[in-house]
Structure formats: C-alpha cells, structure tokens
Amino acid sequence: MISESNGVSIFSGDSGVIVGLGTTTASNVDKFIFDLHIPLNSYLRDPNIVGTAVTLSQISSGDYFIVYNSNVGVGSTRIESRDTSNNLIGIGTVFFDNVYQVDGVSDVSRHVTGVGNTIIRRIQTRSAGIGTLNFSSDDITFDSDVFTFDSLSATGSGYTGGITTSTYFGYYSWGKIVVSSRAETSTYNSYRNNGVTGLTTSAIVRRTEDLKSSDYIVY
C-alpha cells in the first residue's frame, strides 16, 4: 500500500442537486449540460456552520465532479465522460452516474420548482460513445418536438437536443485539495471504468487531525 501525509494549503468544494439536464454540440464536440443548485436546506447555506453561506456552486472550468443517484434512464448502458483534451475519464453504467470534468461554466437565472427564480451554475462536460437514448419514463418524459436525443452515436455526431428542467435529476459533489508540499512524487490509481462504483476501490484522502470544533476562526 502506498501512502503519504501532506499539509493542505487550500481546499474547496460543494454539493447539491441537479435541476437541469441537456445536450449540446460545440466545435464538433458533444457535451452534456448540467444545472447545479444548492438546496435551500443545505448546511452550506447556514453561516453558523460554514462561516460564509454558499448559495451558488463554486465549481469552475477544469474541476472534476461526480454525479450519483441520477434517475434519468438512457437506452445505452455505457456513457463515456471525457476531459477537456477529449481523453477518456470514466465509463458510467448506471443512468448518468459518472465522473466528469467541467468544460465550460456560466451562471443562469431560472425558475426552480419549490424555490422560485434563482441563480444556478450551468456547466458543460464532454462526452462520447452514447448510443440511442431513451428518456421516457412514468415520471419524466423527454419526448417532444423541441428536445430530441436521437443520433448520439459518436463524438461530434451533433447533439440536436436542448435542456430540460426538473426539481431532481440526481446529486452532484466535488472537492479540490491543494497540498502545501510533498516529500516525493507518488501516483495513486483511480478506477473510473465502472462509474461512481469504481471510486470505492480508488485512493482515499483522509484527515489525520480532527477538525477544531470550538474557538474556530474562519480567515
């Protein structure tokens, strides 16, 4: 087993719910669109817990994140996520659950059911290898003349869909740690060819000192 201990200079991240999902094609690159929202009851919005309330996801271009407990069915049993250089990141096998990298980000004002008009963070991610998609279900239907998810067989095939909204398409989570120094360079494998499930056998980052719970000062 390979392990190392390091000090941390910067850490960031947040989590929440996916309230919008769609597709687009730009410069011959097929992409997914995710609308990210931090729920009103999230502890991230409580300044008594986090110091400064986080009302909008701070994820940005180049950051990695996971989608889990997604509930939108697809005809294909394989969804490939790609990094910003179009290299394979991971292969998802359960709905849209997978590891993704942000390829573009913007803040959008839109209506979220149960919340009203609010600002959400809209991100794009690169994808490939998707066969025929079937989004029809008893709860969510994507069948319409406006949105179409046909002919998504290869990279650059041209996503002719758009984006649709819901109160819940799944959850997202991301985090980033910048270590202050390293005594040596070590490599840790990440097993992403089985989507989020594979991460359970990947490297683990663990805090070695307890988080201070009293007289805690946020700088």
Q: What is the pLDDT of residues 71-100, one digit of tens each?
A: 876 555 678 899 999 888 888 888 888 999
pLDDT tens digits, one per residue of 103-135: 999 999 988 887 889 999 999 999 876 544 444
- The model carries a pTM of 0.77
| Domain coordinates in residue numbering, the chain | 8-201
**Cβ count near 75 (within 10 Å):** 13
E runs forming strands in the chain? 8-26, 29-37, 64-68, 79-82, 88-92, 98-112, 116-128, 163-179
pLDDT attached to residue 65? 95
Rounded to whole angstroms, the Cα distance separating 97 from 99 reads: 7
